[in-house]
């Protein structure tokens, strides 16, 4: 167990960068035109590009968390510590799975994709329309599941701030 009680600057920066990029991702995803027609246009390229950036950041965040653990808030009841830990790991898994499934979807569609039109990205598989439809369904289910978990996470953080009036949320706030 670690003696560190606060998240450091790097952990906070990675957390809030992922938060900001997820907001961008959901906005692009909801506002882009029907993606099932033709090759990807600019909105899809941006969606894929931000997804790859999120994938890289979440891998860095996960590595940072493993190598720089922070002790759970000792004032919390055991069930809150356990549910908090489970929620964080579920968020990591879902962000990883959602971003990878999006990249797989593009690969199954046979799309040539790049990172912000600058760096070509490798295909994770060959073109396969049936697999593309399947993975698209999973990608959408994970998007909604992730959104629900994010909502629960935010509500829990706000409950600690306004209801329990403890310092749990302050551990991740800047400053």
Note down pLDDT in tens along the chain; length 175 residues: 567 788 999 999 999 999 999 999 999 988 886 665 666 788 889 999 999 999 999 999 999 999 999 988 888 999 999 999 999 999 999 999 999 999 999 999 999 889 999 999 999 999 999 999 999 999 999 999 999 999 999 999 999 999 999 988 889 998 8
pLDDT recorded at residue 1: 54
**Both tokens assigned to 146:** 């992730």
pLDDT recorded at residue 5: 81
DSSP 159: I
Length of the chain: 175
- Of the CA atoms within 13 Å of residue 43, those in its CB half-sphere come to 13
d(CA 146, CA 166): 26
Place of tokens 């990172």: 115
- pTM for the whole structure: 0.92
pLDDT recorded at residue 121: 94
Contact 138, 101 (CB under 8 A): yes
pLDDT recorded at residue 67: 96
pLDDT recorded at residue 32: 80
Cα distance from N-terminal residue to C-terminal residue, the chain: 25
d(CA 67, CA 123): 31
pLDDT recorded at residue 85: 94
d(CA 60, CA 58): 5
With left for phi above 0 and alpha for psi between -120 and 50, is residue 68 left, alpha or beta? Answer: beta
pLDDT recorded at residue 43: 86
């Amino acid at each position: 167990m670690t003696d560190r009680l606060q998240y450091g600057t790097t952990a906070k920066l990675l957390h809030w960068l992922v938060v900001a990029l997820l907001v961008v991702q959901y906005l692009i995803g909801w506002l882009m035109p029907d993606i099932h027609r033709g090759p990807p246009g600019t909105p899809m390229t941006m969606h894929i590009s931000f997804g790859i950036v999120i994938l890289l950041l979440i891998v860095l965040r996960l590595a940072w968390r493993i190598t720089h653990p922070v002790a759970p808030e000792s004032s919390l009841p055991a069930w809150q510590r356990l549910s908090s830990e489970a929620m964080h790991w579920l968020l990591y898994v879902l962000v990883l799975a959602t971003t990878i499934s999006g990249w797989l979807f593009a690969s199954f569609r046979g799309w040539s994709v790049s990172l912000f039109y600058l760096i070509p990205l490798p295909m994770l598989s060959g073109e396969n329309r049936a697999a593309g439809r399947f993975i698209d369904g999973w990608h959408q289910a994970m998007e909604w599941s992730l959104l629900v978990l994010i909502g629960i996470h935010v509500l829990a953080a706000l409950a600690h701030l306004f209801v329990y009036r403890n310092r749990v949320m302050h551990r991740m706030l800047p400053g």
